[in-house]
């Protein structure tokens, strides 16, 4: 995307004195997400979702890399984080919001995958800043198939008679068969859902999104932030409960990846 040089200079000057990454609110209608760890794939994901669904996402005005720092200039979504005051909402209000969220997730999952691989929206590396992935890198992949993705998650371990039964069960689950990936937000926390009253005004923070196996949205949503523990009680109301997949992914995180 193109951005006039003057605006590039303005943004970089404004951000020089600030932290190396974050979100700067430029006005009541505009913000910029920036940092060396950010990726243009996040901008592509928001554009992709806006094109294929009616899910409200920030409109991307431009995105670029300047001096090894990524900038995404986008719409500032109205409202506040859904988690703010959630515990004080009545049941009717919660049901209205969760019904909207369920419908939005269903729209996203109906988008056809371009192939069998696990990758970001542009076919490149995935990103996960949570302590739930093996290895020191926040970026990993892409992978040609779901089994290859799973093999990475378990550090290449193969089934063996000497392994604990639950690890062999995990490996069997990882090997499939699989029908193909689905597009996934990857962090459906109440902190990433914006609302006004009983209406969802936007889903934000698409940096962990990509093409993943169909259980990934559920298991990542269940890895709730310690500041967001109440949200664990709501997840089964907008995502199909997958207790076996959740239990096996917990084994994977305990044995190979960490996690909250």
46 pLDDT higher than 90: yes
Confidence at residue 204, expressed as pLDDT on a 0 to 100 scale: 98
13 pLDDT higher than 60: no
pLDDT average, residue stretch 106-127 = 96
> CA–CA distance from 158 to each of 22, 161, 256, 257 (Å)?
40, 10, 13, 16
Distance CA 203, CA 205 (A): 7
Confidence at residue 260, expressed as pLDDT on a 0 to 100 scale: 44
Confidence at residue 1, expressed as pLDDT on a 0 to 100 scale: 45
- Residues 122-152, buried b or exposed e (16+ Cβ, 10 A)? eebbbbbebebbbeeeeebbbbebbbebbbb
For residue 7, name the pLDDT band (cuts at 50, 70, 90).
Answer: low
Confidence at residue 225, expressed as pLDDT on a 0 to 100 scale: 79
pLDDT average, residue stretch 12-39 = 78
Helices (H) and strands (E) in the chain, counts: 7, 11
Classified by CATH at the fold level, domain 80-257 comes out as: Aminoglycoside 3'-phosphotransferase; Chain: A, domain 2 (3.90.1200)
Beta strands in 9-127 (DSSP E): 22-25, 30-35, 60-66, 69-75, 80-81, 126-127
- Residues of the chain with pLDDT > 90, as a percent, come to 77
Residues 6+ apart with CB under 8 A from 21: 34, 35, 36, 37, 38
Classified by CATH at the fold level, domain 5-75 comes out as: Phosphorylase Kinase; domain 1 (3.30.200)
- Cβ 81 vs Cβ 49: under 8 Å: no
CA neighbor of 142 nearest in space, from 126, 128, 153, 155: 126
Domain boundaries, the chain: 5-75, 80-257
Sign of CA dihedral 77, 79, 85, 91: negative
pLDDT average, residue stretch 37-51 = 96
Q: What would the pLDDT profile of 180-224 be if each residue is shown by its tens digit?
A: 999 999 999 999 999 999 999 999 999 999 999 999 999 999 988
For residue 16, name the pLDDT band (cuts at 50, 70, 90).
Answer: low
Confidence at residue 17, expressed as pLDDT on a 0 to 100 scale: 44
For residue 230, name the pLDDT band (cuts at 50, 70, 90).
Answer: very high
255 vs 8 pLDDT, higher one: 255
């Amino acid at each position: 995307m193109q951005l006039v040089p003057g605006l590039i200079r303005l943004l970089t000057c404004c951000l020089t004195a600030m932290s190396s990454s974050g979100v700067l609110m430029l006005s009541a209608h505009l913000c910029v997400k920036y940092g060396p760890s950010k990726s243009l794939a996040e901008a592509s994901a928001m554009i992709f979702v806006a094109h294929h669904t009616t899910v409200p996402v920030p409109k991307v005005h431009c995105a670029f890399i300047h001096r090894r720092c990524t900038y995404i200039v986008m719409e500032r979504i109205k409202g506040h984080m859904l988690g703010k005051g959630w515990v004080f909402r009545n049941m009717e209000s919660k049901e209205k919001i969760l019904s909207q969220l369920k419908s939005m997730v269903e729209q996203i999952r109906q988008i056809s995958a371009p192939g069998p691989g696990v990758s970001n929206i542009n076919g490149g590396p995935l990103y996960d800043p949570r302590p739930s992935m093996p290895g020191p890198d926040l970026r990993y992949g892409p992978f040609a198939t779901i089994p290859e993705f799973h093999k990475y998650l378990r550090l290449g371990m193969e089934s063996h008679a000497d392994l604990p039964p639950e690890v062999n069960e995990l490996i069997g689950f990882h090997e499939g068969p699989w029908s193909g990936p689905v597009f996934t937000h990857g962090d459906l926390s109440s902190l990433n859902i914006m609302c006004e009253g009983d209406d969802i005004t936007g889903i934000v923070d698409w940096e962990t999104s990509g093409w993943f196996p169909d259980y990934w949205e559920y298991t990542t949503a269940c890895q709730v932030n310690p500041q967001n523990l109440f949200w664990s009680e709501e997840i089964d109301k907008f995502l199909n409960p997958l207790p076996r997949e959740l239990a096996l992914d917990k084994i994977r995180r305990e044995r190979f990846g960490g996690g909250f």
